[in-house]
């Protein structure tokens, strides 16, 4: 009976944490798109300000992620993953977790989310926040083949690149 109560409590807590984290990721993606979609350099530029996204969304993400590390897609420690994924796409949650698992960082690569902003090369800018945030779900218990001690975070938005002036 106590075990059942504990499982129910953990399910409620994890769902609550997941809602807080993914809502923060949603808000960050929306803000990131606004930053990325135009105006790198000048008001008429159509070069997206991709490298400015991380700094602009970090204050929104850091606290709600509850101990999960928020990584910059353009940081030096992710160079190998960038090389693997290519310059026009963002990684999936599992690719992020696999990468950090290879680096032996966190159980099963859990505990890292990446803020990614790329130009797809066809006039669109994509901002994604992907990875596995920390949770209390033990290995093998979570639904949908989730990783142990991790909650999947995958929020993506994509818009046409614009300019601030005509």
Q: Which residues bind other proteins (CB under 8 A)?
A: 1, 4-5, 8, 11-12, 15-16, 18-19, 22-23, 26-27, 29-30, 33-34, 37, 43, 92, 124, 126, 143, 152, 154-160, 162, 164-166
Partnered with residue 158 across adjacent β-strands are 126
Residues 111, 68 contacting (CB under 8 angstroms): yes
Residue-wise DSSP of 99-146: HHHHTT-SGGG-SEEEEEEEE-SSSEEEEEEEEEEE-S--TTTSSTTP
> What single DSSP character describes residue 146?
P
Q: How far is the CB of 156 from other proteins (least distance, A)?
A: 6
Q: How far is the CB of 20 from other proteins (least distance, A)?
A: 9
- Taking the least distance from each CB to other proteins, the nearer of 6 and 75 is 6
Q: How far is the CB of 155 from other proteins (least distance, A)?
A: 7
> What token pair was written down for 104?
């032996």
- Taking the least distance from each CB to other proteins, the nearer of 15 and 63 is 15
Three-class DSSP labels, 10-58:
HHHHHHHHHHHHHHHHHHHHHHHHHHHCCCCCCCCCCCCCHHHHHHHHH
- Taking the least distance from each CB to other proteins, the nearer of 68 and 154 is 154
- Taking the least distance from each CB to other proteins, the nearer of 37 and 70 is 37
- Taking the least distance from each CB to other proteins, the nearer of 24 and 80 is 24
Q: How far is the CB of 158 from other proteins (least distance, A)?
A: 4
Q: How far is the CB of 102 from other proteins (least distance, A)?
A: 23
Q: In what order do the strands lie in the sheet with 69-72?
A: 69-72, 112-119, 124-134, 150-160
């Amino acid at each position: 009976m106590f075990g059942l109560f504990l499982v129910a409590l953990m399910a409620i807590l994890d769902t609550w944490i997941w809602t807080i984290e993914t809502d923060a990721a949603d808000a960050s993606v929306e803000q990131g798109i606004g930053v990325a979609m135009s105006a790198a350099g000048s008001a008429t530029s159509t070069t997206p300000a991709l490298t400015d996204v991380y700094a602009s969304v970090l204050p929104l993400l850091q606290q709600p992620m509850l101990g999960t590390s928020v990584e910059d897609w353009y940081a030096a420690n992710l160079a190998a993953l960038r090389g693997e994924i290519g310059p026009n796409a963002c990684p999936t949650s599992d690719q992020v977790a696999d990468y950090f698992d290879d680096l032996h960082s966190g159980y099963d690569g859990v505990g890292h989310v990446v803020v990614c902003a790329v130009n797809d090369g066809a006039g669109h800018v994509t901002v994604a926040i992907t990875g596995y945030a920390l949770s209390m779900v033990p290995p093998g218990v979570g639904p949908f083949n989730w990783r142990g001690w991790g909650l999947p975070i995958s929020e993506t938005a994509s818009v046409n690149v614009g300019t601030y002036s005509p």
